[in-house]
Amino acid sequence: MVRLFPYRAVGGALLLVLGTLSACWKPEFSETERATIASLSLQSLPPLPADPTNRVADMPAAMALGATLFFDHRLSGNGEVACATCHKIDRQFQDDLPRAVAMGTNNRRTMPLAGVAWSPWFFWDGRRDSLWAQAITPLEDRVEHAGNRTAYARFMVEKFRDRYERIFGPLPPLDGLPKNASPLGTPAEQAAWVSMSPAQQEAVNTVFANIGKLIAAFERSLTLPETRFDRFAKALAAGAPPAPTDDLSAKERAGLKLFIGKGECIRCHNGPRFSDGHFHNTGVPPVAGLPEDLGRETGATKVAADPFNCLGKFRDGPDTACAELRFMVKDKPELRRAYKTPSLRGVAERPPYMHAGQIPTLEEVIDHDARAPASSDGHSELNPLTLSEREKKELVAFLKTLSQ
């Protein structure tokens, strides 16, 4: 006698078998793919690069004072804005906003700071060439800290003289300074700056540059946390099975294969920081109502003219450290509307995306990159891709493994 099983039991058993088979299916990786995956792991991150332009870059006392300054709201025109206002410690040192808001609203969004010391250029357009030159730039920006150079020098004398002098030596003479003066400030501040002697200007600039060097010493300590992807990649490189909590699902593995293969993401998002540190036009639309933003084309001009750049007098060490600045590309057409490749580490946790928050979700970023729209100005480097909806979801699933 043949016994007939109830349909519900048979269907349940079939679903269980199919679910088990699906869970067991995981795309395999070739030797070349395994090497590429290993290159993306934090295990491949080189040691923290030295900064010969900042002699206190790795001094614990400088790092400690830099941390104090990073969180100090008195480093602003109204006493209410600190570096930490936009670079929030619990949000990957960024702020989740489409465009940064401090004394005013910026034209671009805040970039996260973890791992920033491995970058050769700073800001979306690379308009600064050292971490310390980057750190002082917002201090005088009217929509960021909106302070002025002599006020900052006086602040260091009044509040941190002992700590400053233990790190840098005696402060330069700062007697008789105007209360508020800066070459980049209001018309009154600029007039006051011009009234100062060259010796006074150089003394103030020295203290101002050193403020940046202190903050940079702190920012160099902001390292990248290990993620589930890193633990998976480490096991894969060792030829050992990952711990169950570190393993990637079939969907996540498929997304990883797409990331390093068909999806072409790795062309720009490569290396353990998932960024090549360079500048690319990817056809991201401008934001209506904002001033024209030409990206690296303008940034290259600004960094070359910056008095605090690597070739300037406020750099520590020899100018042999200035190869990036000496040999940078300055005037090629591909610089127009090109922006620095952002790191993808922790990317799923910090929408919206692009330099001014133009794209709200990861799914829409992948749609944009697959469509490869023409740039509004200049030439987009993207090539159109045919990705199924399943493949797009797999890419998103993989990107989520780049968080803790």
Tokens 């671009």 appear where?
Answer: 108
pTM above 0.85, yes or no: yes
User: What is the DSSP annotation of 275-299?
Assistant: --S-EE---PPPPTTSPP--BHHHH
For 113, the token pair is 């700071």
Question: What pLDDT is recorded for position 18?
Answer: 41
> Could you tell me which of 66, 157, 155 has the C-alpha nearest to residue 147?
155
Could you give phi then psi for residue 100, rounded to 5 degrees?
-60, 145
Q: How far apart are CA 260 and CA 267, in angstroms?
A: 8
Q: How far apart are CA 113 and CA 215, in angstroms?
A: 12
Burial of 325 (0-12, 13-18, 19+ CB in 10 A): buried
Question: What pLDDT is recorded for position 100?
Answer: 98
pLDDT tens digits, one per residue of 79-126: 999 999 999 999 999 999 999 999 999 999 999 999 999 999 999 999
For the chain, which domains are there?
A: 27-45+226-278+341-402 (1.10.760.10), 60-219 (1.10.760.10)
Q: Which residues contact 189 (CB under 8 A, 6 or more apart)?
A: 148, 180, 181, 182
Question: What pLDDT is recorded for position 34?
Answer: 97
Q: How far apart are CA 65 and CA 218, in angstroms?
A: 8
> Could you tell me which of 350, 336, 401, 391 has the C-alpha nearest to residue 369?
391
Side chain identity at residue 48, one-letter code: L
Question: What pLDDT is recorded for position 27?
Answer: 55
3-state secondary structure of 220: coil
Q: How far apart are CA 29 and CA 37, in angstroms?
A: 9
pLDDT tens digits, one per residue of 162-185: 999 999 999 999 989 999 999 999
Q: Which residues contact 103 (CB under 8 A, 6 or more apart)?
A: 76, 77, 78, 81, 142, 143, 144, 145, 146
Question: What pLDDT is recorded for position 28?
Answer: 85
Half-sphere exposure of 142 (CA within 13 A, CB side): 7
User: What stretches in the chain show pLDDT beneath 70?
Assistant: 1-27
